[in-house]
Structure 1
Amino acid sequence: MDRSAVYFLLYVLIAKTIVAQAATPADSVYATDKQTIAKGQQLFGQNCSACHNFLQKGIGPNLSRVTADVSYAWLRKFIRNAPDVIGQGDARATRLVAEYNQIMPAFPTLNDADVRALMAYIHHNKKLTTDKNESFGTAIADPVPAKIAKGGLRLTLEEVVTAPASATQTPAARINKMLVLPGQTERTFVVDLRGALYEMAGVTLQPYFRLPDHRPNFIHAPGLATGFGSFAFHPAFYQNGLLYTTHTEKARTAPANFAYADSIKVTLQWVLTEWKTTAPTATTFVGTGRELLRIDMVSAIHGVQEITFNPLAKPGTPDYGLLYVGVGDGGCTENGHYELCQDSTRLWGKVLRIDPRGTNSRNGQYGIPVSNPLAGRAGGEIFCRGFRNPNRICWAPNGTMLVSDIGQANMEEINAVVAGANYGWPDREGTFVMNYRGAMDKSYPLPGNDAAYRYAYPAIQYDHDEGKAVSGGFVYTGNIALLTGKYLFGDIVNGRVFYVEGNQLKPGQQAIIQEFDLDIAGRPVTFQALCGSKKTDLRFGIGPGQGLYLFTKTDGKIYRATACALVR
């Protein structure tokens, strides 16, 4: 055979190989055996489920079509080291950063087999067609078309202190809650979700209590809601020395008081603990703790991020000494287990009210007040329900209880709560219908017979044109006159600071939201500029003298509001 014939045959062979490879469907690249997919499901729960699922976009994009939209090689590279792909200017990666305002971390601990299994599980959950939503009507493109306007008030901030760094990467300090312990001398405390409770003394934060020193099974990974979730001092702390905390531990660390069917995965557990200090006035905690309850969670998101006592309740009144506990849905809705939220016998997606000093609960470790709406029945702990992530609870001076609820893909809300009311999740998000069985990233109008469902609706709501996650605040009662009586809050992601007039906080009647201008030493600022990041992780706290404090997990800086003036 001459050389030209050899070249021709070689050309044909190469061409056929290329055509065969091009014709090979993407499905054949991904592993399909049950063992690999099961391993991928476990890895997904540990590393991905906090931000991603296969029903809708949330903190990160919906992954139901990702293996159809990108190549196997691209996805593998992105999972390995997303920051590197972004840094190389990849168009898709850059677009994702712009849309979600954050960067997926690298996963250097995943080996090749892990990545292969993870990708197999993602591909196993692909959806190449869009869920049908005809029965819900036409989706609403812009749920709240009116835009939040500036209110003509300029809030002056002063940087007070930077929290001790608890990591070398962003967020630098996961400071999440600040409150004042009243007494002869007011004491202010700040918690870092990575495990430390600090006392703020002047311009310093001094360690008061380290939860990992007392609970070796404590975990704060993978971040987001996990870790040292919340804390509350008993209103008689200086007499009884009682402190309450919530924190996360690994799945199956101990039998849960509140569990579900074996067919539903458990990613971690939230634990509510009562601690008794031997010296209430001491600057560091010395004492012991006892577990009150333990609850399983489907994923790492939407945990037990808030516990609190009603500060308006006085000794001898029915609410005195009762602990309110905000329990998120644990990601059960986006993982297909939405039935847990609306079940009045289950604790997920509820605000609980318990007597931590009582014993008539099922496990005998706390009490269920007889005044609770469901007292004497299964779920007697429940005070109200229908929440996705009830992450802050406070009371207005007139006694109105306010619960901020971080939304899914479209709406953020704050509810003026009534005992026994149902706030709709996952059937409702704000004043809109959500298809929790299908495309959850769309909003639909309320049905004509909506009153028959007896859902309660927010006192404040805004859509995702304005922000991505509500940062609950409080009604101001400090000494800055122009702030008095206003409910102050903002958005976790973009760091905008909002207010509504306190007299507009009424159940089901949406108040008008207005935005502050911000400055430091006469210089206009935004929290995004102060942090140097699109995601600020903004939180609100009450400090000495009922002062307004704002702080950002991104850089760990704490600011105090020193003045408020009319914008001229």
Structure 2
Amino acid sequence: MDKQNHKQASMKNPIFLGLISLFIFFSCNQKSEIGSDISKDSEQIKAGKVLFENNCSTCHNFEQKGIGPNLSGLSHTVESSWIKDFIKNPAAVIETNDPRAVQLFEDYKIYMPAFPSLAEKDLDAILSYLHTYEHLPDSLPQIGLEDPIPDTVPDSGIRVELELFSQLPASDAEHPMAKMTKMDVAPGTDRVFINDQRVGLYELIGKKPNLYLPITDLKPELVSKPGWATGMASFTFHPEFTKNGLFYTAHTEPGGTQLSDYGYSDTIRVFMQWIVTEWKADDPKAAVFAGSNRELVRIDIPSQAHGMQELAFNPSAKSGDEDYGLLFIGFGDGGLTEKRAAYLSDNKGTKVYSSILRIDPKGNNSPNGKYGIPPTNPYATVAGKAGEVYAYGFRNPNRIFWDNKGNMFATDIGQHSVEELNKIEKGKFYGWPIREGRFIMNPFGKFREIFPLQEDDEKFGVTYPIIQLDHDELAAIFAGYIMPSGPLQGKFIFGDILSGRLFFADLDDLENSGVQTWGVIYEGKEISLLELCGGKRVDLKFGQDASGQVYIMSKTEGKIFKLSMN
């Protein structure tokens, strides 16, 4: 499909419109009237600032475009009622084909999350704060790459049948109905577990979910809200779970809940804390958890985004191997770059941020004495470095996995332009925040602009992704598995979290085979996952059971679909 046709097709699909409808041109004869209904009360402005920082600042600021548009001057150019309606339910406004939702559709390809829980007084306060930014900045020319990867991913023609397998109970009345992010198997068993970020850990017993770990009862400070990448985001079982009953979770609590193990200057707010907890089941065979828990580490971040999204043990490691029993933790920059603290994410292994960490849960030589620093970690004995760091330079390493040969990989969700799959090697630097994919990014400038690599690029020591796709193809990458059988046998499958678009690649022959798309058939009909899931976004995840069977999961209604492996 050529670029013009791609644009025309995109205009017909509202998922590509997202946040851009907030930022529009306006009629001069209306300008003097717009915003006259907004209060300038100082206390209301202060309240609005807090609400904005807690709910909006990860994606929006008043200096430049980022994940979402620059909001400077917005309330002086757009009617208050329209802004409120959009905050409460962006999808509903988009569906009316409002012209504001089409004018800049090329810039933003995701839906802004709805905030139906914000009361009218909250919306008024946010408007009061927005109204303190009176003028739109001068329009600057686009000097970066407008289309960094012009090639279009071809369709393979492969279609795989799906069937509904199970469904988690709704944990909210609004989409997403069940915030599941991971399916995992307890090693040495055929027990399958799935999390809901708001609720805890379910076990699928005879296709029916049974609440195994009610984490909100056991960790009452846990917080998970719509549009926030928070709650119990990940979990994993120790390779000897059947003997020792140990498993691990990552969850969020409000900033300042307890003293953190890792933080930063007090000039940067602490909005959330990520916590790794070790759980010890009294009876590993029990259907409901009973036992003890202890906190391993607590880390501050300044926003609700791209924090600790993955916990994993190397499933191919055997007793005596270097990785055996060591816990890998995918930890993003937590919004530090967006908060103008790129020096903390560009840390060269001196901080735990923007890194994949590797720790020994049974050790005690960490700074807080609650876990071990493996002696084989690259910076275990290097002064001034964080011994937990295994590899660094990631914005959001949201999925870590190993292929059948024991090679380690991680997907990394990009800022504004490029999504990545990286082959992970110990001690390597993967570019963030000075690179997005194989492109230069200035973390102290305009995030949305990227530039070609320069001739002297080698001096920066960046290890580049083995797969990179721009936002013409997908908005947020999520990895699946190497398919064990069926028409995609031997291929690595992955997809777009938001739209559910599906891709595959042969990781052993990328140079010749490249990346291709594939699709699904449900009840005899070829159908997109967006249509199948019935929402405005799929929130795609993959899962796999002990037999190798692969599943597709969607937060929209909490449904789990089984892929045909024939």
- TM-based fold match above 0.5: yes
Q: Is the 2:73–2:130 Cα contact (8 Å) retained in structure 1?
A: no
Letter in 1 for 2:307: G
The aligned counterpart of 1:385 is 392
Q: Is the 1:176–1:193 Cα contact (8 Å) retained in structure 2?
A: yes
Letter in 2 for 1:292: L
SS in 1 for 2:340: coil
Superposed displacement of residue 190, structure 1: 0.6
Q: Is the 1:63–1:126 Cα contact (8 Å) retained in structure 2?
A: no
The aligned counterpart of 1:63 is 71
Q: Is the 1:132–1:438 Cα contact (8 Å) retained in structure 2?
A: no
The aligned counterpart of 1:178 is 183
The aligned counterpart of 2:237 is 233
Letter in 2 for 1:122: L
The aligned counterpart of 2:137 is 129
Cα distance between partner residues in 1 of 2:172 and 2:34: 40
Choose the corresponding residue for 2:366, options 361, 369, 374. 361
Letter in 2 for 1:44: F
Letter in 1 for 2:434: D
The 1:332–1:516 alpha-carbon spacing in structure 2 relative to 1, beyond 3 Å, is same
The 1:55–1:475 alpha-carbon spacing in structure 2 relative to 1, beyond 3 Å, is farther
State whether structure 2 residue 454 is matched by structure 1 residue 447: yes
Q: Is the 2:187–2:242 Cα contact (8 Å) retained in structure 1?
A: no
The 1:355–1:162 alpha-carbon spacing in structure 2 relative to 1, beyond 3 Å, is same
The 1:56–1:386 alpha-carbon spacing in structure 2 relative to 1, beyond 3 Å, is farther
Superposed displacement of residue 74, structure 1: 4.0
The 1:165–1:75 alpha-carbon spacing in structure 2 relative to 1, beyond 3 Å, is closer
- Structure 2 regions of 5+ residues with no counterpart? 1-28
Q: Is the 2:109–2:471 Cα contact (8 Å) retained in structure 1?
A: no
Cα distance between partner residues in 2 of 1:199 and 1:74: 43
Cα distance between partner residues in 1 of 2:33 and 2:386: 50
Choose the corresponding residue for 1:544, options 539, 543, 546. 546
The aligned counterpart of 1:49 is 57
Aligned residue pairs, count: 534
The aligned counterpart of 2:150 is 145
SS in 1 for 2:260: coil
The aligned counterpart of 1:309 is 313
Letter in 1 for 2:367: R
Letter in 1 for 2:48: G
The aligned counterpart of 1:292 is 296
Cα distance between partner residues in 1 of 2:299 and 2:176: 27
Superposed displacement of residue 132, structure 1: 6.5
Letter in 2 for 1:495: G
SS in 2 for 1:439: coil
The 1:130–1:548 alpha-carbon spacing in structure 2 relative to 1, beyond 3 Å, is farther
SS in 1 for 2:370: coil
Cα distance between partner residues in 1 of 2:31 and 2:546: 69
Please give the per-residue CA displacement for 1:139-160, whole angstroms capped at 9, x wherever unaligned: 2121111111112422221211
RMSD (Å), alpha carbons: 2.7
The 1:76–1:161 alpha-carbon spacing in structure 2 relative to 1, beyond 3 Å, is closer
Q: Is the 2:279–2:292 Cα contact (8 Å) retained in structure 1?
A: yes
Superposed displacement of residue 513, structure 1: 0.8
The 1:55–1:531 alpha-carbon spacing in structure 2 relative to 1, beyond 3 Å, is farther
Cα distance between partner residues in 2 of 1:80 and 1:503: 46
% identical equivalent positions: 41
Cα distance between partner residues in 1 of 2:133 and 2:411: 32
Cα distance between partner residues in 2 of 1:524 and 1:81: 30
Pairs within 5 Å for 1:97-176: 100-102=109-111, 104-107=113-116, 109-112=118-121, 114-124=122-132, 128-129=136-137, 138-176=143-181
Choose the corresponding residue for 2:433, options 420, 426, 429. 426
Superposed displacement of residue 345, structure 1: 1.7
Q: Which has the higher mean CA deviation after the structures are superposed, 360-369 or 496-505?
A: 496-505
Cα distance between partner residues in 2 of 1:361 and 1:474: 33
Please give the per-residue CA displacement for 1:298-325, whole angstroms capped at 9, x wherever unaligned: 1101011100000111111111100000
The aligned counterpart of 2:195 is 191
Please give the per-residue CA displacement for 1:391-430, whole angstroms capped at 9, x wherever unaligned: 0000111221100001111111010011111111111111
- Structure 1 regions of 5+ residues with no counterpart? 1-20
Superposed displacement of residue 433, structure 1: 1.2
Cα distance between partner residues in 2 of 1:302 and 1:126: 31
Q: Is the 2:419–2:470 Cα contact (8 Å) retained in structure 1?
A: yes
Please give the per-residue CA displacement for 1:528-547, whole angstroms capped at 9, x wherever unaligned: 11012341111111123111
Letter in 1 for 2:376: S
Q: Which has the higher mean CA deviation after the structures are superposed, 102-111 or 39-48?
A: 102-111
Q: Is the 1:241–1:277 Cα contact (8 Å) retained in structure 2?
A: yes
Q: Which has the higher mean CA deviation after the structures are superposed, 52-61 or 35-44?
A: 52-61
Q: Could you state the TM-score of these two structures normalised by the residue count of structure 1?
A: 0.87
Cα distance between partner residues in 1 of 2:92 and 2:164: 33
Please give the per-residue CA displacement for 1:172-200, whole angstroms capped at 9, x wherever unaligned: 111110112232x4111111111221111
Cα distance between partner residues in 2 of 1:69 and 1:23: 6
Q: Is the 1:536–1:553 Cα contact (8 Å) retained in structure 2?
A: yes
The 1:500–1:553 alpha-carbon spacing in structure 2 relative to 1, beyond 3 Å, is same
The 1:126–1:447 alpha-carbon spacing in structure 2 relative to 1, beyond 3 Å, is farther
The aligned counterpart of 2:18 is none
Cα distance between partner residues in 1 of 2:174 and 2:67: 19
Letter in 2 for 1:524: E
Q: Is the 1:458–1:510 Cα contact (8 Å) retained in structure 2?
A: no
Cα distance between partner residues in 2 of 1:73 and 1:212: 36
Pairs within 5 Å for 1:340-351: 340-343=344-347, 344-351=349-356
Choose the corresponding residue for 1:463, options 453, 470, 477. 470
Choose the corresponding residue for 2:565, options 552, 563, 566. 563
Pairs within 5 Å for 1:194-213: 194-213=198-217
Please give the per-residue CA displacement for 1:270-303, whole angstroms capped at 9, x wherever unaligned: 1100010100011111111000010111110101
- Decide which structure has the larger Cα Rg and report it: 1
